[in-house]
């Protein structure tokens, strides 16, 4: 397993409570939920580490690297 970076994160108590509830609904820890949210956002915005991002040309729908 790859090592993970450890850092401190400050969040509003109400945001944390919302994260706790969401994590419980998904059977994850709060930390796991935050990792999942970050990973999903990186994929959505095509910023996943270690992969070249590609864009779609609006005119012909081909991928440009």
- Give the residue ranges of the chain where pLDDT is below 70: 1, 51-65
Q: Quick one: tokens of 10?
A: 């400050």
Looking at residue 49, what is its pLDDT? Answer: 84
pLDDT of residue 51: 63
Cβ atoms of 19 and 13 closer than 8 Å: no
pTM value is 0.69
Tokens found for residue 22: 């969401």
4 part of a folded domain: no
- Is position 8 within any domain? no
- Domain membership of residue 3 (yes or no) is no
What pLDDT does 64 receive?
47
Give how far the C-alpha of residue 9 lies from the chain's centroid of Cα atoms, to the nearest Å. 15
Residue 23 lies in a domain: yes
């Amino acid at each position: 397993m790859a090592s993970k970076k450890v850092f401190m994160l400050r969040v509003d108590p109400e945001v944390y409570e919302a994260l706790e509830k969401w994590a419980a609904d998904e059977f994850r820890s709060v930390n796991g939920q935050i990792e999942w949210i970050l990973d999903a956002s990186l994929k959505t915005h095509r910023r996943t580490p270690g992969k070249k991002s590609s864009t779609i040309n609006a005119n012909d729908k081909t991928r440009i690297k």
